[in-house]
Structure 1
Amino acid sequence: MLVGCFLLGSFSLIALTAVRWWGDVIVESTFLGNHTSLVVLNLKYGFWFFVLSEAFLFVSFFWAFFNSSIGELSQQGVGHWPPLGVKSICPWKVPALNTAVLVGSGLFVNWAHGAVKAHGLVSMDDSKGNNSKVFMGRVYTGGEYWRIQGLISLGITIVLGIFFTWLQATEYYMASYTIADSVFGSAFFILTGFHGAHVIAGTLFLTVCWVRLYLYHFSYQHHHFGMYAATIYWHFVDLVWVFVYGIIYIWGH
């Protein structure tokens, strides 16, 4: 009971911190105009360093997996990987589908990022119709065409992120081993679990960007750092999963 209270309090504090932080960034950039080009440049450098620190976090987990597996396999026929009694998950079923879903979502987030950039370069007030385009049977003028494309592609990316999380949860439920079953189980659930947490965070990040795009926060000649950061983060999640799939699922199997 006490542990549950501490867990709930910790998650509540994290959620409050994230909401307040995102809210301050949105207010400072969109409504106060405090994000000058120099501030945005520093934010980009800071975000890239954050992604680098996350990369080293996963490197440590991969290192632990390799160290344990090669140690077992180096025992000249005595050791086994996965250890005896542990039946690894077939990489050509749900994991392969998860890979297709996540890689496909990376294509859609690129589409969304390009649409938001174009939306920020074209004025919404286009009375002469110089930038009018037809999309899904309707004529859109100015930046509205790119805004609609961004909303659709970003929405598809969010749905694919949620679908990936659901598939991962289903895989956990059907797995024949737990985090307590040898070092293989520990390494598997730590790596895939941390990656899943990053997918959830990235999905929330993209959802915030979708709401901001819907509310015209990425307007004419307004920077789109939020969308830029979300796109970089999502591609990082994609790249990490490619390594997870190749090393943990295929090579580990």
Structure 2
Amino acid sequence: MSVQRGINIGVALFIVSEALFFLAIFWAFFHSITAINPFELPLLNTVLLLSSGVTVTYSHHSLIQGNRAGTINGLIATLVLAIFFTFLQGVEYSVSSFTISDGVFGSCFYFGTGFHGLHVIIGTIFLAVAA
């Protein structure tokens, strides 16, 4: 029982540290620059990520209920959304009018989105292996 409690606390602390890490990155980004238009590609990527959260939650609940088809369908939908997100992030990089060496703006943008993209890619690999 104490081992499970330690694991739960460890996962919770990891999630909190990740949230604070990204909060710091985005705070620096928005504090030092004029933000890009969020109603274009960033909005689409946000919708994709929120949708993938819904599909992976559906997959998880299907797994708990023993619904194998729902589990697999949820995982496949999540993988498709994650791959599409990663593709669109590459498009966003290629059409950006700035680089990582353009000062604080470029550094914060590529650092934050790069780490986030890396998290998505790692999660995609883990889910693909699980499927």
Give the alignment's TM-score, normalised by structure 2: 0.87
In 2: Cα distance, 1:114 partner to 1:147 partner: 10
- 1:156-195 equivalences under 5 Å are 156-195=77-116
Change (3 A) 1:163 1:66: closer
- The answer to whether 1:155 aligns with 2:76 is yes
Structure with max Cα Rg: 1
- The answer to whether 1:103 aligns with 2:24 is no
In 2: Cα distance, 1:65 partner to 1:172 partner: 16
Aligned length: 131
2:38 matched residue in structure 1: 91
In 2: Cα distance, 1:97 partner to 1:158 partner: 16
- The answer to whether 1:51 aligns with 2:11 is no
Change (3 A) 1:40 1:115: farther
Q: 1:64 aligns with which of 22, 25, 28?
A: 28
1:247 matched residue in structure 2: none
Give the alignment's TM-score, normalised by structure 1: 0.48
Question: Match for 1:157: what amino acid?
Answer: T
Q: Which runs of 4+ in 1 moved over 4 A?
A: none
In 2: Cα distance, 1:204 partner to 1:167 partner: 17
Counting helix residues as a fraction of each chain, which structure ranks higher?
Answer: 2
Could you tell me which runs of 5 or more consecutive residues in structure 2 were left unpaired when the two chains were aligned: none
In 2: Cα distance, 1:180 partner to 1:118 partner: 50
1:204 matched residue in structure 2: 125
TM-superposed deviation, 1:198: 1.1
1:115 matched residue in structure 2: 62
In 2: Cα distance, 1:58 partner to 1:96 partner: 18
TM-superposed deviation, 1:68: 2.2
1:5 matched residue in structure 2: none
TM-superposed deviation, 1:41: 3.7
Could you tell me which runs of 5 or more consecutive residues in structure 1 were left unpaired when the two chains were aligned: 1-36, 70-80, 83-87, 120-145, 211-253
- 1:33-44 equivalences under 5 Å are 38-44=2-8
Q: Helix, strand or coil for the counterpart of 2:65?
A: helix
